[in-house]
Structure 1
Amino acid sequence: MGDAIGQLLPFAMGVTLSPIPIIAVVVMLGTPRAQVNGPAFLVGWFAGLLVLGTAVLLVAGGAGAHDDGGPATWTGWLRLALGAVLLHVAFGQWRGRPRGGAEAEMPGWMSAADGFSAPKAAGMGVLLSAANPKNVVLTVGAAAAIAQTGISTLDQELALLVFVVLGTVGPAVPVAVYFGMGDRSERILDDLKHWLAAHNAAIMTVILLVIGAKLIGDGISVLA
C-alpha cells in the first residue's frame, strides 16, 4: 500500500491546496450560521471526493489497471491524457490571472453564502469536490494510480481514504482555526481569504504544471 500512497500524494496535494474551496469555507465562516455551515461544507466535500474516488477506482479495477506484474498499457495513455489536460488548464489559469492590480473575480454564489442552510453548504461542498473539472481529473489520476499498483481491494480502499483525508485538509484548516481561536480567528481568516484570492491563479498554475508534468512522465514510463 505504501507504493499506492506515494503515487497519490501529488494528486491529494493538488486537491487540498485549491484556493477556491478554502475561500468558500472562509466566506461561510463569516456568516451567522458559521458553526453549522463550516462543518457541513467539510462533510459534503469529504463525501464528494469519496464517492467520486470510489467510482473511478471500481471502473479502473474492472478495466484491469494492473496486468502482467505491472500497470496496464491503457493507464499510460490515461496519464498522458490527464497530464495534457492539466497543462492546458494551467495555461488557462495563467492567462486568466488578474492584471494591473485588478482584484480576482470570485464565483457569484459566494455573495449568497449568508443565506445558506446546512444542506446547501454541504451540497456546495459536494459540487466543489466532485463536480469541479480540475478535481475530477486529479481524482481520476489518483484512483487510477491506486488501481494500477495491483494491491488488494482492502488496501486500495484504505489508500483512497488516505487520498480523501489529505484532500480535505486544506478546507478543514479554516474550520479548525475558527473553532480553535474563536473571535480572534476573524482577522486571520479574512487575511487568508484575500491572499488566496489574489494569488489563486499563480498557485493553481504551479500546482497543475507540476502534476501535469509528472503525469506525462509517468505515462511515458508505462508505455516505454
Structure 2
Amino acid sequence: MGNAIGSILPLALGVAISPIPIIAAILMLLSPKAKVTGVGFLLGWVVGIVVAVTLFTVLSSALPAENSGSAPIKGTIQLVLGVLLLLLAVGQWRKRPKKGEEPTMPKWMQAIDKVSFWGALGLGFLLSALNPKNLILAVGAGTAIGAAALPVSEDVLVIAIYTIIAACTVAIPVIGYLIAADKLHEPLDKLRAWLTEENSVIMAVLLLVIGISMIGKGIAAF
C-alpha cells in the first residue's frame, strides 16, 4: 500500500493546485448565497474526484497482471499520460497573459453569483471529474492503485487519501468561511485576484513537473 500512496500523492497535489476551481469556490463564497453554493460546490468537487479515481482504479485492476520487475502496460499508460500533461503544460504557458494584458477567465464565471445549490454541485462535479487535466491525473492515480493489487479495504483507504489531498484547497476556504465568514472576506478576495493573475503560469509549471515525473516512472516500468 505504501507504494500506491507514494504514487498518488503528487497526482492528488496536481488536482489540489488547480486555480480555476479555487477561484470558482471563492467567487461563490463572495456571493449573496455564499454558504449554500459553497457547500454545493465542495460536495460536487469531492464526489467528482471519488468517482473518477474509483472508476479508473476498477478499470486498471482488470488489466493483465504484471510482475514487479517489468510492467510494460502500466509503463505505457504512464508514458502516454506524461506526454499529455506536457502538452497541457505547453498550452497553459502559451495562454499566460502578456505584460500589461488582463488575464482572461471562463465566461461562466460571470454568472457564478446566480448559481443555485444544485448548479454549484454540478459545476463542482464537472470541474473535478471531467476537466482534462484532472481526468489525466485520475487515470494515473487509478492505474497506480489498481496495479498495486491491494485488498478492497486498502484501495478505499488510498482513494480516501487521494481525495482528501485533492479536495483540500477547495475544502479549506469553504469550511473556513462557514466558521469565520467576516474575517475571510478580504483575504479570499486577494487570493482570488492573485490566482486569476497567475493561473496559467501556476498550471504550466505544475503540469510540467508532474508530466516529467510520470514519464520517468513510465520509463522505469519497462
TM-score range (shorter-chain normalised) is: over 0.9
Aligned to 1:48: 48
Q: Secondary structure at the match of 2:165?
A: helix
Aligned to 2:136: 137
Q: In 2, distance between residues paired with 1:213 and 1:148?
A: 20
* Structure 1 outlier segments of 4+, above 6 Å: none
Give runs of aligned pairs for residues 78-157 of structure 1, distance below 5 A: 78-157=77-156
Q: In 2, distance between residues paired with 1:190 and 1:210?
A: 28
% identical equivalent positions:
43
Q: In 2, distance between residues paired with 1:177 and 1:103?
A: 29
CA RMSD of aligned residues (A): 1.2
Find out whether 1:28 has 2:28 as its counterpart: yes
Find out whether 1:73 has 2:72 as its counterpart: yes
Q: Secondary structure at the match of 1:208?
A: helix
Deviation at 1:179, TM superposition (A): 2.1
Per-residue CA deviation, residues 49-78 of structure 1 (Å, 9 max, x unaligned), is 1111111111100113x4234563211001
Query: Normalising by the residue count of structure 2, what TM-score does the alignment of the two structures yield?
Result: 0.96
Q: In 2, distance between residues paired with 1:185 and 1:150?
A: 44
Q: In 2, distance between residues paired with 1:102 and 1:176?
A: 34
Aligned to 2:218: 219
Deviation at 1:32, TM superposition (A): 1.2
Q: In 2, distance between residues paired with 1:170 and 1:71?
A: 36
Deviation at 1:184, TM superposition (A): 2.0
Per-residue CA deviation, residues 91-142 of structure 1 (Å, 9 max, x unaligned), is 1100110002212111111111121110000000000001100000011001
Give runs of aligned pairs for residues 170-181 of structure 1, distance below 5 A: 170-181=169-180
Q: In 2, distance between residues paired with 1:162 and 1:71?
A: 27
Per-residue CA deviation, residues 5-30 of structure 1 (Å, 9 max, x unaligned), is 11100000000010000000000011
What letter corresponds to residue 42 of structure 2 in structure 1? L
Name whichever of 119-128 and 94-103 sits farther off.
94-103
8 Å CA contact 1:70, 1:149 repeated in 2 = no
Query: Normalising by the residue count of structure 1, what TM-score does the alignment of the two structures yield?
Result: 0.95
Q: In 1, distance between residues paired with 2:54 and 2:175?
A: 27
What letter corresponds to residue 46 of structure 1 in structure 2? V
Aligned to 1:199: 198
Q: In 2, distance between residues paired with 1:185 and 1:68?
A: 51
Q: In 1, distance between residues paired with 2:101 and 2:180?
A: 32
Name whichever of 152-161 and 7-16 sits farther off.
152-161
8 Å CA contact 1:71, 1:149 repeated in 2 = no
Name whichever of 66-75 and 190-199 sits farther off.
66-75
Deviation at 1:158, TM superposition (A): 1.4
Q: In 1, distance between residues paired with 2:100 and 2:145?
A: 42
Aligned to 1:38: 38
